[in-house]
Structure 1
Amino acid sequence: MVQVRAQQPINTDGSVNLDAWLEHMATLDPAVDREGLRAACEFAREAELQAKEGQHRWAENASSFRTGLEIAEILADLKLDQDSLVAAVIYRAVREGQVPLEKVSERFGPVVAKLIEGVLRMAAISASVNPRDTTVFNSQVQVENLRKMLVAMVDDVRVALIKLAERTCAIRAVKNADEEKRHRVAREVFDIYAPLAHRLGIGHIKWELEDLSFRYLEPEQYKQIASLLHERRLDREQYIARVMDQLRERLNATGIKADISGRVKHIYSIWRKMQKKGLQFSQIYDVRAVRVLVPEIHDCYTALGIVHTLWRHIPKEFDDYIANPKENGYRSLHTAVIGPEGKVLEVQIRTHAMHEEAELGVCAHWRYKGTDVKATSSHYEEKISWLRQVLEWHEELGDIGGLAEQLRVDFEPDRVYVFTPDGHAVDLPKGATPLDFAYRVHTEIGHNCRGAKVNGRIVPLNYSLQTGEQVEIITTKQGGAPSRDWLNPNLGYITTSRARAKIIHWFKQQAREQNVIAGKTLLERELARLDLASVDYDKLVERTNLKSVEDMFAALGAGDLRLAHLVNQAQQLVEPERDYDQLELIPRRAPSQVVRPGGRGDIQIQGVGNLLTQMAGCCQPLPGDPIVGYITQGRGVSIHRQDCPSVLQLEGREPERIIQVSWGPVPVKTYPAEIVIRAYDRSGLLRDVSQLLLNEKINVLAVNTLSNKEDNTALMSLTIEIPGLDALGRLLARLSRLPNVIEAKRQRAS
């Protein structure tokens, strides 16, 4: 339900009674420094009194001073520190231009000024919200504003908490505003700040923001549910009182000291459950609910047993969030039972500490730089890690399209959290390597990286990091430079787009001559390893849409051209009759099962396969390229790349003949390939090769080994099954890194 706020104490002349207000603040948080807070209040009040007539007000008849007091009240209830309370009192005065930030810094210190500055950056979002948008995140204009918002939250979570409190005041204040303003504020609060309160685990703020937003966004639905709740309110309260007495008596008999209270079900959560499960109001189990607070965790489960002894448990309506906490740190036991008189009843059971955390979230384990306060839980770091995750994803993709959903739904646990030598947490995508970590910390550390230690042990740069590990990057003291091998996906050195972008940018800045030499060396080495050295470079450059072979080498050396793309093009030139991304010879299945690109089976025309298609010779699309179809006369549908100049001209002249097409599913097949491994002979060589093939899930059809005693070398010939050229390149790269291996390459049939 919507929270009813207490009125501020007023003098007979209509001004705020500061003494009484400070007394009230001390009841909310005894640690409040009354005199320091009084100075901030007098500063803000004086600034408002000196403000010019006709100055902009953020709400009709609003007072920046009294709004600051209300923000501070919310934060005191969250047990925030003194600097946050002072910043809250003064914030609206700075926001409305009544006092400069420099004066705040001089009077109250740089920490308070920095907090206000962070909240001001977040306020930039409000200025650009279109009230008719279904989400505030669909405008590219807001990309930079959102970046500032997220940076502010990551740097100091107090900024986010002050902004949450300020938006709570804002949505309370628009009750009598015009419909357009109510809708705009509610849309912003619902899309940004209610999910943020949920992420930070601040339950009572989240519920109030959701209910008030829902009230203005869906007024009819809100009134309907509110009236249904009000109709049975007296009966429900009497029923809950009887349930509480019965449960309290049984708990006391077993020696458990419990605080039992009725729990108000919030209107938005009722509506959401009705929509999600297709239920009627009468079918909502937790409209009648009680909450049980006990001292210890084991008391929770004892109390649960008593509840299930008293009343019959409803199947599939039990959640143990103590053993399996929610991602925002919420812990509790939830159960639904058939209570007295056959009525459905929800019971929540948790410890007092869990309840404090459910209400206060990140504030229950308060920690920030410059104090000696220690966090008693990892939930603070988890919340900050989530904020950093959103920020990095935004920086890497440069796209804002899915950020609202990222804020609104629970994120999948596909991240790893590792530590720097100083103990700072860094989050990365699952499968990230020490090189990804190095570029995440700082670009120069990535460029100068020459090795890595994980938990004090030297590891390869393509080692897959695991959560909880401590990573130390070994850098060169001289001017370092990234290796071009790092960009080779077959070697697995980097997985994040951030690291790849930094490396490519470095190579783009190098001299063209160096890029030409490096690109040529890189291509020749890979083609030799795959036994494609006979490729005609002049024909290969025609497929890259570049002007010369030198341009091709330069683009490859600078990172603008992918090595895998060139290798696939070379494969098509050497073996034009083979599948674009497959290997050679005959698949182990019947030839009729093979689906060749350009045939009818691998193109879906508006969802339908097995229609007559042909690949356009002008752009030669490959599987994975964005494509469109052009209806020809008598030759079916011609498939073009979406950026093909020819199809762009056709679209202008005959748009009715352009249709939607897509690559259809291609069955996974394996093809036999011959590879040769030359190595210095040693004990266990064959075992290591076999183990690597096993790890890569490669099936071996034949093996032949030959040792040369004169130069102590071994030559191994293997026939393996491989799904494609990319997989072969990755396998050969990993075989080459085995101890004593001189080279591993493909050997095509003569």
Structure 2
Amino acid sequence: MMRQYELVERVTRYNPEADEALLNKAYVYAMQKHGSQFRASGDPYFSHPLEVAAILTDLKLDDATIAVALLHDTIEDTDATRAEIDTLFGEEIGKLVEGLTKISRLDLVSRKAKQAENFRKLLLAIADDVRVLLVKLADRLHNMRTLHHMREDKRARIAEETMEIYAPLAGRMGMQDIRDELEDISFQTLYPEACQTIKERLSQLHDKNEGLIADIEADLTQRLAERGITAKVSGREKRAYSIFRKMEQKSLGFEQLSDIYGFRVIVSTVEACYRVLGVIHTAWPSVPGRFKDYISTPKQNDYRSIHTTVVGPKRQRVELQIRTHTMHRIAENGIAAHALYKDGVTGGRDISHLTAESRAYGWLRTTIDMLSQGDTPEEFLEHTKLELFHDQVFCFTPKGRLIALPRGATPIDFAYAVHTDIGNTCVGCKVNGRISSLVTVLANGDEVEVVRSKAQTPPPAWENIAVTGKARAAIRRATRASARQQYGDLGKHILERAFERAGQELQLEDLEAYLQTLGKSSLLDLLVSVGQGELSSRSVLETVHPDCNAEAAAERTKQALPTGNAAEGWFDMEQNSSVKFKIPETLQEDGTTNALPIRGMSGALPVRFAPNGGAVPGDRIVGILTPGIGITIYPIQSPDLKEFDDQPDRWLDVRWELDSENPERFPAQIAVYAVNEPGSLATITRIIGDLNGNIDNIRMLRKASDFHEMQIDLEVWDLKHLNQILKQLRARTNVSDARRING
């Protein structure tokens, strides 16, 4: 275990002006707090925070970050408190330590929910200060290095979490060395047989091509020197997990892999990078489609390098990465490689305000800010994983702005990546000047123009099309906001009817005085609760007008259903939805309000037709409001309505609102009594098909020697269409009767 003076020496080597008193105090405090604790390996627990601190000294981080590494488990695993940390080490360090403390006392339903909430808390802390992330990754790295001491079931869970979250997160932050080690240990733990097989194949390949790496290094170094280019050339075999991932993603066998060997050429200037590229392509033939210039177009995590694959000596394909020393440092250490100096201090690195220097950290903060708005912890974790995992494609706006997206992204993802408002108002797109579908998968270099409409709101189905967390989260928020507003409008209509039947006039501003009594924080909350059926209109009426006979008024409402005529215009419950409701603004001459128009049931809000028999245009219909379910539409003759006789305030006056330009089918059920002979079922289905009916399901209810009874679920245009089908069925000699269920 590292001694106190050894840790201080490690820090002062790269930062002579480090606060040694702070480091000594943090060392002693953490050792005392963890003094009686031991790890699964049997080592003193204090060895863990000490090793985390050592990892961070390799990254040459500031003394405050090293102190946080020493203290990071004290609040969580000892009797130390945030107040005590603040007093001894200052609020800045106290805040960082608290950000690294997992949530342990939440009443969460599952381990998954707890993991999600912990991850949300961690990322929100990272958004405030990047040092939280650096300490957390170092913490995870040391835990993975000692993973073999854990129980087997716990090892698998930790390795899976590392592979899903922390390794991609390290990669997104450009910390490739840490990502590589996290992935290697996780791969060894989760897939030990595959890992061992690949390592054996690599060993065989190494023996076969012995000296190949050294030969290429020497050959390339000499060629560059002949052209006056000083470069450091190093070669290596690819890692086992990198090979496994490529084999899995592209369904390749080991023999089919063409770039097992990789080389790095590090030079002093950007100009030299392109000169090296010319030398390499002159010496060996390049492999088409394997050239990538991340210098002119850096990755989101600040990674810059030129990649090319050539057919080198012994006809072996090799991949080369060409970069400068600065690019290499950032490629290996990511955000930790950005050196920012405090005013007046030249020896230490202060990364507490790392923003403009790192595009990776800027991406992370933007992503966290976006994902933290209104989603559950599980959704937050899901969307963050989506943002972390995908490789990237680079697309452009018509003005030339570069937009980085995950592979598989669509114009919907592109629109939201440009701006949330552009995504919410997107109605179409042009890809490379041609009108294209919004489900088009974008490719590198595509120019995308988004077509917008202010009347548009994103359909909920877009959430299944989008692949980025940002787009999915924005679509879900827009859908929730739209549904909430629509429920509010429906609740207003229900209250207007209830107040009118009681002989009162609804004044929305008057309801605000009763919000506390009704247990609501805002007028919209009240209207939404009524619209969703959680709060009855009777309760609101009796609260505002205690002397009104709300029960009698509700009974009169039921007796008046349905009313029939409606005023001009209708209210769209969901943009591009076929479910339409009428929200009347004025009373008709006879004192009755307009009915709510019903068009179909394909919208996002819970409007459905009764399961037994359905309803079709031409039927007189009624709506029943059910909390947690929504509005169910029944034909007025349905016997199922009897069960709601004692709940008149749940009845809604509804009517049909058909769109002649976009006709829809509606559900109905019929019972058919047919002679039991060969071909009778075929005759029945042919009649329905010839009359343009659509059969959803057929059930045999009774079967005898001479006849059978069947129930057919079908879709028809309207009541006239249904009656035509029934008439034709009854006209057949092998059909004794055909009638509508609930008709």
| TM-score w.r.t. length of structure 1 | 0.55
Give the residue type in structure 2 aligned to 1:396.
G
How many angstroms apart in 2 are the aligned matches of 1:301 and 1:547?
A: 84
SS at match of 2:300: coil
Cα–Cα, structure 1 residues 230 and 175, in superposed 2: closer, same or farther, change >3 Å?
farther
How many angstroms apart in 1 are the aligned matches of 2:361 and 2:208?
A: 41
1:387 alignment counterpart: 365
How many angstroms apart in 2 are the aligned matches of 1:342 and 1:412?
A: 30
How many angstroms apart in 1 are the aligned matches of 2:567 and 2:659?
A: 21
Counterpart pick for 1:82 among 57, 60, 63: 63
Q: Does 1:202 align with 2:175?
A: yes
SS at match of 2:289: strand
Following superposition, the deviation at residue 189 of structure 1 comes to: 1.4
Cα–Cα, structure 1 residues 153 and 539, in superposed 2: closer, same or farther, change >3 Å?
closer
Alignment of 1:668-687 (within 5 A): none
Alignment of 1:386-535 (within 5 A): 386-398=364-376, 400-401=378-379, 402-410=382-390, 430-431=418-419
How many angstroms apart in 2 are the aligned matches of 1:299 and 1:224?
A: 40
Stretches of structure 2 that go unaligned for 5 or more consecutive residues are 402-415, 425-452, 458-473, 513-521, 532-563, 581-595, 644-657, 663-743
8 Å CA contact 1:87, 1:112 repeated in 2: yes
2:49 alignment counterpart: 68
How many angstroms apart in 1 are the aligned matches of 2:70 and 2:102?
A: 17
Cα–Cα, structure 1 residues 221 and 541, in superposed 2: closer, same or farther, change >3 Å?
farther
SS at match of 2:263: strand
Give the residue type in structure 2 aligned to 1:335.
T
SS at match of 1:263: strand
Cα–Cα, structure 1 residues 414 and 155, in superposed 2: closer, same or farther, change >3 Å?
farther
Give the residue type in structure 1 aligned to 2:383.
L
Q: Does 1:41 align with 2:44?
A: no
How many angstroms apart in 2 are the aligned matches of 1:547 and 1:222?
A: 78
SS at match of 2:298: coil
SS at match of 2:302: coil
8 Å CA contact 1:122, 1:145 repeated in 2: yes
Report Cα offsets for 1:169-194 as digits up to 9, x if no partner: 11111113221121121122122211
1:718 alignment counterpart: none
2:629 alignment counterpart: 643
Report Cα offsets for 1:418-464 as digits up to 9, x if no partner: xxxxxxxxxx9744679x9xxxxxxxxxxxxxxxxxxxxxxxxxxxx
Following superposition, the deviation at residue 104 of structure 1 comes to: 3.8
Give the residue type in structure 1 aligned to 2:385.
E
Report Cα offsets for 1:244-281 as digits up to 9, x if no partner: 00000011111111111113422222111111111112
SS at match of 1:397: coil
How many angstroms apart in 2 are the aligned matches of 1:141 and 1:647?
A: 41
SS at match of 2:60: coil
Following superposition, the deviation at residue 550 of structure 1 comes to: 2.5
Following superposition, the deviation at residue 300 of structure 1 comes to: 0.8
How many angstroms apart in 2 are the aligned matches of 1:122 and 1:140?
A: 11
Larger radius of gyration: 2
How many angstroms apart in 2 are the aligned matches of 1:219 and 1:628?
A: 52
Cα–Cα, structure 1 residues 499 and 333, in superposed 2: closer, same or farther, change >3 Å?
same
Q: Does 1:295 align with 2:268?
A: yes
SS at match of 2:41: coil
How many angstroms apart in 2 are the aligned matches of 1:116 and 1:122?
A: 13
SS at match of 1:112: helix
* Structure 1 vs Structure 2 CA RMSD: 5.5
Report Cα offsets for 1:456-496 as digits up to 9, x if no partner: xxxxxxxxxxxxxxxxxxxxxxxxxxxxxxxx97599xx99
Report Cα offsets for 1:43-66 as digits up to 9, x if no partner: 4334444x3xxx5x4533132222
8 Å CA contact 2:601, 2:608 repeated in 1: no
Following superposition, the deviation at residue 338 of structure 1 comes to: 0.6
Cα–Cα, structure 1 residues 545 and 17, in superposed 2: closer, same or farther, change >3 Å?
farther
Alignment of 1:138-537 (within 5 A): 139-141=112-114, 144-236=117-209, 238-367=211-340, 378=356, 380=358, 382-398=360-376, 400-401=378-379, 402-410=382-390, 430-431=418-419
Report Cα offsets for 1:679-706 as digits up to 9, x if no partner: xxxxxxxxxxxxxxxxxxxxxxxxxxxx
How many angstroms apart in 2 are the aligned matches of 1:266 and 1:214?
A: 11
Following superposition, the deviation at residue 88 of structure 1 comes to: 1.0
8 Å CA contact 2:144, 2:185 repeated in 1: yes
Following superposition, the deviation at residue 105 of structure 1 comes to: 3.4
SS at match of 2:290: strand
Cα–Cα, structure 1 residues 618 and 61, in superposed 2: closer, same or farther, change >3 Å?
same
Stretches of structure 1 that go unaligned for 5 or more consecutive residues are 1-7, 9-15, 131-135, 418-427, 437-487, 509-514, 524-536, 566-571, 584-594, 599-615, 654-665, 671-750
How many angstroms apart in 2 are the aligned matches of 1:618 and 1:412?
A: 44
SS at match of 1:210: helix
8 Å CA contact 1:336, 1:346 repeated in 2: yes
SS at match of 1:286: coil
Cα–Cα, structure 1 residues 503 and 85, in superposed 2: closer, same or farther, change >3 Å?
farther
Give the residue type in structure 2 aligned to 1:61.
G
Give the residue type in structure 1 aligned to 2:629.
D
Report Cα offsets for 1:700-737 as digits up to 9, x if no partner: xxxxxxxxxxxxxxxxxxxxxxxxxxxxxxxxxxxxxx
Cα–Cα, structure 1 residues 397 and 538, in superposed 2: closer, same or farther, change >3 Å?
closer
Cα–Cα, structure 1 residues 541 and 22, in superposed 2: closer, same or farther, change >3 Å?
same
Following superposition, the deviation at residue 67 of structure 1 comes to: 1.4
How many angstroms apart in 1 are the aligned matches of 2:505 and 2:104?
A: 53
Total equivalences in the alignment: 505
Give the residue type in structure 2 aligned to 1:60.
S
8 Å CA contact 2:285, 2:310 repeated in 1: yes
1:550 alignment counterpart: 506
How many angstroms apart in 1 are the aligned matches of 2:122 and 2:501?
A: 42
Cα–Cα, structure 1 residues 399 and 59, in superposed 2: closer, same or farther, change >3 Å?
closer
Give the residue type in structure 1 aligned to 2:58.
D
Bigger Cα displacement from structure 2, 553-562 vs 267-276: 553-562
Alignment of 1:19-34 (within 5 A): 19-20=5-6, 22-24=8-10
Cα–Cα, structure 1 residues 376 and 390, in superposed 2: closer, same or farther, change >3 Å?
closer
Cα–Cα, structure 1 residues 88 and 151, in superposed 2: closer, same or farther, change >3 Å?
same
How many angstroms apart in 1 are the aligned matches of 2:181 and 2:503?
A: 63
8 Å CA contact 1:415, 1:429 repeated in 2: no
1:734 alignment counterpart: none
Following superposition, the deviation at residue 232 of structure 1 comes to: 2.8
8 Å CA contact 1:285, 1:336 repeated in 2: no
SS at match of 2:148: helix
Cα–Cα, structure 1 residues 92 and 577, in superposed 2: closer, same or farther, change >3 Å?
closer
Cα–Cα, structure 1 residues 319 and 197, in superposed 2: closer, same or farther, change >3 Å?
same
Following superposition, the deviation at residue 75 of structure 1 comes to: 0.9
1:109 alignment counterpart: 90
How many angstroms apart in 2 are the aligned matches of 1:412 and 1:242?
A: 35
1:530 alignment counterpart: none
Give the residue type in structure 1 aligned to 2:249.
K
